[in-house]
Structure 1
Amino acid sequence: KQYVKEMISGKPVKDARISTVELLNSIGRHDTIYEIMNGPIYCRCGAQIVVKVIKDQWFIAYDDPEWKMAVLNSLDNINFVPSEVRKDIEKAIFNLRKRAVGRSRGLGVKLPWDESEIIDSLSDSTIYTAFYTISHLLKKANDKLFDYVFLGLGNPEEISKELGISKEEVEELRREYNYWYPVDSRHSGRDLVQNHLPYYIYNHLEILGKLPRQIVINGFVRVGGKKMSKSFRNVYPLSKAIKEYGVDPVRIALATPKLSEDVEFNSSVVTSIADQLKRIYSLIVELLEAKGENNFGTAEKWLSSIMSEKIKTVDEKMRNLDFFEAYNIILYDIYNDFKDYLNFTNGINEDLIKKLISAWLRMIYPAAPHIAEELWSKAFPGLVAEQEYPKPEEFTIYPEAVVEKGYVDYVISEIKELERIVGEGEKAVIYVNNDLSLAKDTAKAIEEGQSLFEFARGNEKLEKVYSSIKAYDGIFRKSLLTLQEFDEIRTLANYANYIMSKTNLGQLSVYDSNDPNVPDFKGKKSQALPLSPAIVIFSS
């Protein structure tokens, strides 16, 4: 009894099972029983599932060769996310055989031609999603109504007379169904790839003649590295998570991981998201209260350009259901862009900031509607939910500003890296190589997808240029390709004070590396590359 109390009672099933086996072994009462692996089977309610041979059983002929081939060909009309799941569904369809469609007990719809049998739930579930489209409008129904709504058969006027409803109501049901069908995206778990989803495609093609435009496979929610299960004692009710962390952080934590992967519900991740939302809230309130002179310089042009590009990128990510990357940009990258702007500008442009905040809140809204609406109410009329999602065209792109800001940031990062290695210095000498033509040729090659080997062909200098231009982001390279001129010396001179304020330097000297009269400190002069200057730091 003491062993049971200490090692079995109150323990997780997994641990208790091992302790029980050890106990039975120790008293000589343990034995091995061989059983059929697929039984007994229990449903979620706890009742045993009985396998029964039914006389005159009806089957769905999923092995019919013509039907099977039509279904396989129809997959070309469906977008699968992730794309590799298509192979799994093709394999499942290819292996499908006849499936019993009826059962003799339980809840369900009776077979129309044999009321002694009830349609099994898995077969029924493949088609009833069509009913959702009209369930909120349905008052009376019969077979003729459903034939008209779902198949377009019959006369709506005759149906309306039979049911005692108006012709307009009958036609409205048909319009509602056609509005929603075919569905834009069917989401399902990866455990249903072998059964429900193939049946879903089979029956939608054969009965309705309408296929989903897209099928998306989701992973499972895991807690503590394990799938949620009562036996693991790790079931985390959604209501509890919302109460502890708030709705918006939980929504983002559950919605943003990659779709095909399991969602690890981790308290530290949710807390981190909540903290970032608080930072965003504080920043937007600060920006809305700030006063400026509405100047429109390089900082403002850069921020306008960056927002246009970010909106375009996020839109592409959202369309591809890559919510992880999309909301990394929305919650973190754009936040950092605003902070960077505040450091870079001489005084904020109130009109531009308000316009940018409007776009940002419209991007935040789908995943975090509550904080988006709260912030929206502080500056804009109506609801953010009623607004259109932002478009890249709302903001102008200024290539010169993008290249200037990107170049200055690159130089600052290089100086900081040198300071980390050699220590802080009082003075820096910067050698530049104003070969814009080579820089643009390299940027074009990268944007066209050329590899380092294809571009450089073993040329050491070109390899270095390729690597340096590759270090810049895509919008920088695209902007660079539109410029007719860019003077690195003038740019560094214009932003010398800004560069020194961001580093520990007290003096900055800039030289043209191609000038033979310029002194060569520490042999660095020849190492200057286009848009990648050579830098020497001198200690005080």
Structure 2
Amino acid sequence: MRCPMGKDYEPAVFEKKWQERWQESGIWKADAQTGKPKFFLMFAYPGTSGFLHVGHMRGYTYSDVITRYKRMTGYNVLFPVGTHASGNLCQTFARKVERNDQSTIELLTESGASSEEIEKLKEPAYVAEFLSQVYINEYWKKFGFLADWDRFITTIDTGYKKFIQWQFRKLHARGMLTQKPYYGTACMECGPVAVDASETDISQGGNAEKQEWILLKFKMDDEFLMAATLRPETVFGQTNFWANPDVEYVKARVNGEVWIISPQCAEKLSFQKNSVEIIGKIGGKNLIGRTVMAPVIDREIPVLPSRFTDPDFGTGLVTSVPSDAPYDWIALQDLTNDPETCRKFGLDPEMVRNIEPIPIIESKGWGPNPAAEICRKMGITDQNDPKLEEATKEIYKAGFHTGRMRENCGQFAGKPVATAKDEVKAMMLEMGVADVMYDLSEPVICRCGAKVIMKLIPDQWFIDYGHPEVTEIAKAHVPKMNIQPQTYKDNLPGALDWFKERACVRMGNWLGTPFPFDERWTIEPISDSTLYSAYYIVSGAVNQGILDPEKLNDAFFDHIFLGNGSPDEVSKVTGINAKVIAGLRKDFKYWYPLNINLGGKEHQTVHFPVFLLNHAAILPDNMPKGLFVHWWISGKAGKMSKSKGGAEPIPDAASTYTVDGLRLYYCHISSPHVDVEWDPASVYNSRKSVERAWYFAGELLEMQGGGEKPIDAWLESQFHINVHKASSMMDDIKLREAANIIYFDIVNDLKWYLRRGGNNSELLRKAINAWIRMMAPFTPHMAEELWEMAENADMVSASRYPDTSEFNIDEKALEIEEYLESVLADISGILKMTGMIPKRICLYTAYQWKYEVQRMMAQEGKDMGAVMKHAQLVPELKSKSKEISAFASRLMKDMKRFGDGGIPVNEQNEELEALRAAIDLFGKEFSCEVSVFSGDEPDLYDPSNKRNVASPGKPGIHVE
């Protein structure tokens, strides 16, 4: 491409130049300005777990694009950033450095860390400081973000900790802190960790759920074989017991009883029971053939061999209910059909064959033995079939939601399964024939690499999010909020109802805020990140030394956020200047409530609900106005993750694709509310789109002179429309739609203008100036450079976003160009269909009488009789009743196509004039002679009688 105005496209040069200019200008600073509308956005701050990757930058980029647009439309913008250093993230990173983990050291070295810095990174607190600076300087600033850097926070700052302790004292005063025994998730090395979709503390298993296993006691002499089940109501259908002959089980003394369980189960129980003592071992093969007394039904059942019993799953032993458990049914069939295996374990094959399922649940759509039915239906014939898992889920779902207990289920007969499940469990626990164990539904791995298990915490503190008044305040506010996508807005009230008690503190060597009521505990990472938007109001004063964080106390926060007391009163108890206090209170009232909290889809189930609930509990008069949820940039195998590989580093991607190319990619590749697979070819296309816009705009700015032409009115009108549409999309945060208008529709419009002979340099400069301003939120580095080339004095980032008032709109000019485009398309269609290379094209307008009938139809609507009657009153039309009737019928169909707006009314002279003015356009497009005729001309050249088929707005076309 030709260099515009002598300049090559040099993205790295532009990025460095304009990032320095923005920083020097202070455009990113946010100060309260009375009388000016404000816009306050934050994104969910990242955890300091390591270097970020291109997937993270999607949501962060949206934040900058949105706030740049708001700034350009007259808003005073507050866009602060921070990092989440609480929990075990920094310890995990520090431990990797300490043990000289090669990949971590290489990554640090490649990122420019000195040997002195690497040594210091053995300290968790320095990890938070180091990574925070990387995020600011290597990611956010280098992506051109105009964040208020003065307000930067980490969750281990002294002032932040004071704020969180104030928050917890407020929750306590609200009656929302409780303490009781709790089975929580804990790393076997680090201690308690949070397990949720955000994977703040863990590297695997964010979707794992806490499961309550009922441990059934099967008496065998003076010991108990323990079977774990999630379905206690099925005890009435027990026919046999399964043990894995390849597993060596242990004998564990638990609460005075001897339990036979897998070693893995014993280890899990050691974290949940007061005393678990291993006193012996027994091979699974030694259990086969024994009989055990089944609980509740008080019947002896045989122990049979099965290899589907997993020592990592439950107790490693299973009770068999073949009527309702597909695994049990198939295992029983396998053994029935394998008398050799029976004899190998000393079992009587006839005894095994005589075991019959006991129907216990009557479910909708299933007979007495649903396990056998579904196995036949799905073609499952052995224990290794992966479809067994699906079959199990389907039968359990049907039974739980539609099933009732059968007559052989004692006092529970006739009860819904959903009710009987809890009642049977309660009965067995009371009888002492069962116990409870907690586990996770899938393996969970801590960031340190150790396993995560369930552990009894006897005195755990909780936030009670089930507080009725607080929940109702939050739910009542949801309809008033701007929440995207709409599906999340629809689901959020249900999520708020679901939240009850949530463990909020941990013991151990964690970074974070000490719990104010017992400083042995540290507030966990979810609980210390629910109200921090408020702290951004004061963080700037702390960072600039205006506030001493040690002086921040409840009186200070009560005044700033709740208006309690006066500045003078607070000054006396804090030693903080009263004017500073008054100013911060004024700032809070100006900036709050938050307009948008933006975060990834992993925050839908935890962060966003508790964010609302904490506001409802403490700041009910300042509830947030909006939530924006974005989905992920994923790798080929799913969610991008540094720990799992496949994630491209941000600096490498910025160098390859340019920052503006990446910014446009994030905004234009798809809706923000769907996952996108990282595709280098698509990212490169975005870079090329930016580059093409640069060269095209530069070429147009170079144009000189040129006179006014009719096409000028069309270009003005198109810019009026595009500015309106793009502004509407940006207002609604429809970034993809806005980017499509700005980088593609406008380019096409400008090309059409040139194609139509437009060359008015004054108008083009006006249009390009508007276009550059529209590009500025998305691709600010390129836009700033173009803005400077266009000899504008200020920065485009500080200029006003285009307004429709800058461009006149001419409906007739728009109609004419739309008409000519349709004619071009019709001619192209004919040539494509016929394969002709034209030497001459003749265009014919319709007869004048057709325009008259069209006008009547527009006036009379669908009343054919009225149209014909009207036509009889016009002398020129009296003799054409038959033609008029046929033509009006065709127009009637068009009326259905045009809907309530009615059919457009054309004028023959305007159509003729437009076609004749476009003869040069048609001639250049098709490289041939072009002639234009009025349908009413006498003796015109019309060898194929095309004027007879011409209609108003659709000329006849003859090609030769």
TM-score where L is the length of structure 1: 0.82
In structure 2, do the counterparts of structure 1 residues 57 and 388 end up closer, same or farther at CA, with 3 Å as the change threshold?
Answer: same
Instruction: Give the whole-Å Cα distance in 2 for the aligned partners of 1:50 and 1:253.
Output: 41
Instruction: Give the whole-Å Cα distance in 1 for the aligned partners of 2:890 and 2:311.
Output: 71
Report the more deviating stretch, 374-383 or 64-73: 64-73
Pair 1:359-2:770 in alignment: yes
Q: Counterpart in 2 of 1:247?
A: 659
Pair 1:498-2:882 in alignment: no
Say whether the 8 Å CA contact 2:462–2:503 is kept in structure 1.
Answer: yes
Equivalence map 1:61-460=2 (5 Å)? 61-105=464-508, 106-138=510-542, 139-140=547-548, 141-209=552-620, 210-224=622-636, 226-230=638-642, 233-256=645-668, 257-293=670-706, 295-345=707-757, 348-379=759-790, 380-422=792-834, 423-433=836-846, 435=851, 438=854, 460=890
Segments of structure 1 that go 5 or more residues without pairing to the other structure are 1-23, 446-457, 471-476
Instruction: Give the whole-Å Cα distance in 2 for the aligned partners of 1:459 and 1:246.
Output: 58
Q: Counterpart in 1 of 2:956?
A: 534
Deviation at 1:367, TM superposition (A): 1.0
Deviation at 1:42, TM superposition (A): 3.2
Deviation at 1:52, TM superposition (A): 3.9
Q: Secondary structure at the match of 2:526?
A: helix
Report the more deviating stretch, 52-61 or 246-255: 52-61
Say whether the 8 Å CA contact 1:254–1:265 is kept in structure 2.
Answer: no
Q: Which has the higher helix share?
A: 1
Say whether the 8 Å CA contact 2:514–2:520 is kept in structure 1.
Answer: yes
Deviation at 1:242, TM superposition (A): 0.2
Letter in 1 for 2:797: A
Say whether the 8 Å CA contact 2:907–2:952 is kept in structure 1.
Answer: no
Q: Counterpart in 2 of 1:507?
A: 930
Say whether the 8 Å CA contact 1:224–1:266 is kept in structure 2.
Answer: no
Instruction: Give the whole-Å Cα distance in 2 for the aligned partners of 1:153 and 1:440.
Output: 73
Give the number of aligned pairs.
Answer: 487
Report the more deviating stretch, 144-153 or 49-58: 49-58
Q: Secondary structure at the match of 2:311?
A: coil
Letter in 1 for 2:482: N
Q: Secondary structure at the match of 1:498?
A: helix
Q: Secondary structure at the match of 1:314?
A: helix
In structure 2, do the counterparts of structure 1 residues 437 and 98 end up closer, same or farther at CA, with 3 Å as the change threshold?
Answer: farther
Residue-by-residue CA offset, 1:314-347 (whole Å, 9 max, x unaligned): 011111111111111111111121122112135x
In structure 2, do the counterparts of structure 1 residues 183 and 231 end up closer, same or farther at CA, with 3 Å as the change threshold?
Answer: closer
Say whether the 8 Å CA contact 1:424–1:504 is kept in structure 2.
Answer: no
Q: Secondary structure at the match of 2:952?
A: coil
Q: Secondary structure at the match of 2:634?
A: strand
Say whether the 8 Å CA contact 2:720–2:806 is kept in structure 1.
Answer: yes
Say whether the 8 Å CA contact 1:291–1:350 is kept in structure 2.
Answer: yes
Instruction: Give the whole-Å Cα distance in 2 for the aligned partners of 1:390 and 1:225.
Output: 42
Deviation at 1:69, TM superposition (A): 2.5
Instruction: Give the whole-Å Cα distance in 2 for the aligned partners of 1:248 and 1:224.
Output: 24
Deviation at 1:381, TM superposition (A): 1.4
Deviation at 1:440, TM superposition (A): 11
Residue-by-residue CA offset, 1:147-186 (whole Å, 9 max, x unaligned): 1111111211122233333222112222232333211111
Instruction: Give the whole-Å Cα distance in 1 for the aligned partners of 2:925 and 2:812.
Output: 22
Letter in 1 for 2:474: V
Deviation at 1:40, TM superposition (A): 5.6
Residue-by-residue CA offset, 1:56-81 (whole Å, 9 max, x unaligned): 43332222333322321111111111
Deviation at 1:34, TM superposition (A): 3.6
In structure 2, do the counterparts of structure 1 residues 161 and 378 end up closer, same or farther at CA, with 3 Å as the change threshold?
Answer: same
Instruction: Give the whole-Å Cα distance in 2 for the aligned partners of 1:203 and 1:360.
Output: 43
In structure 2, do the counterparts of structure 1 residues 192 and 249 end up closer, same or farther at CA, with 3 Å as the change threshold?
Answer: same
Say whether the 8 Å CA contact 1:80–1:214 is kept in structure 2.
Answer: yes
Q: Report the identity percentage.
A: 29
Q: Counterpart in 1 of 2:422?
A: none
In structure 2, do the counterparts of structure 1 residues 101 and 224 end up closer, same or farther at CA, with 3 Å as the change threshold?
Answer: closer
Q: Which has the higher contact order (CA 8 A, sep 6+)?
A: 2
Q: Secondary structure at the match of 2:460?
A: coil
Residue-by-residue CA offset, 1:261-294 (whole Å, 9 max, x unaligned): 123332111211222222222122212222113x
Instruction: Give the whole-Å Cα distance in 2 for the aligned partners of 1:263 and 1:143.
Output: 45
In structure 2, do the counterparts of structure 1 residues 103 and 225 end up closer, same or farther at CA, with 3 Å as the change threshold?
Answer: closer
Report the more deviating stretch, 41-50 or 133-142: 41-50
Report the more deviating stretch, 395-404 or 31-40: 31-40
Deviation at 1:309, TM superposition (A): 0.6
Equivalence map 1:460-471=2 (5 Å)? 460-464=890-894
Residue-by-residue CA offset, 1:241-273 (whole Å, 9 max, x unaligned): 001111100111123331111233321112112
Letter in 1 for 2:892: L
Deviation at 1:376, TM superposition (A): 0.9
Q: Counterpart in 1 of 2:311?
A: 33
In structure 2, do the counterparts of structure 1 residues 353 and 522 end up closer, same or farther at CA, with 3 Å as the change threshold?
Answer: same
Instruction: Give the whole-Å Cα distance in 1 for the aligned partners of 2:643 and 2:944.
Output: 68
Letter in 2 for 1:282: Y
In structure 2, do the counterparts of structure 1 residues 383 and 122 end up closer, same or farther at CA, with 3 Å as the change threshold?
Answer: same
Say whether the 8 Å CA contact 1:82–1:260 is kept in structure 2.
Answer: yes
Deviation at 1:43, TM superposition (A): 3.2
In structure 2, do the counterparts of structure 1 residues 326 and 439 end up closer, same or farther at CA, with 3 Å as the change threshold?
Answer: farther
Report the more deviating stretch, 189-198 or 389-398: 189-198
In structure 2, do the counterparts of structure 1 residues 372 and 326 end up closer, same or farther at CA, with 3 Å as the change threshold?
Answer: same
Instruction: Give the whole-Å Cα distance in 2 for the aligned partners of 1:366 and 1:50.
Output: 47
Q: Secondary structure at the match of 1:377?
A: helix
Say whether the 8 Å CA contact 1:43–1:49 is kept in structure 2.
Answer: yes
Instruction: Give the whole-Å Cα distance in 2 for the aligned partners of 1:387 and 1:131.
Output: 30
Q: Counterpart in 2 of 1:43?
A: 446
Letter in 2 for 1:493: R
Instruction: Give the whole-Å Cα distance in 1 for the aligned partners of 2:535 and 2:570.
Output: 18
Instruction: Give the whole-Å Cα distance in 1 for the aligned partners of 2:442 and 2:635.
Output: 29
Letter in 1 for 2:760: N
Say whether the 8 Å CA contact 1:430–1:536 is kept in structure 2.
Answer: yes
In structure 2, do the counterparts of structure 1 residues 368 and 441 end up closer, same or farther at CA, with 3 Å as the change threshold?
Answer: farther
Segments of structure 2 that go 5 or more residues without pairing to the other structure are 1-245, 247-306, 314-438, 862-887
CA RMSD of aligned residues (A): 3.3
Instruction: Give the whole-Å Cα distance in 2 for the aligned partners of 1:486 and 1:156.
Output: 77
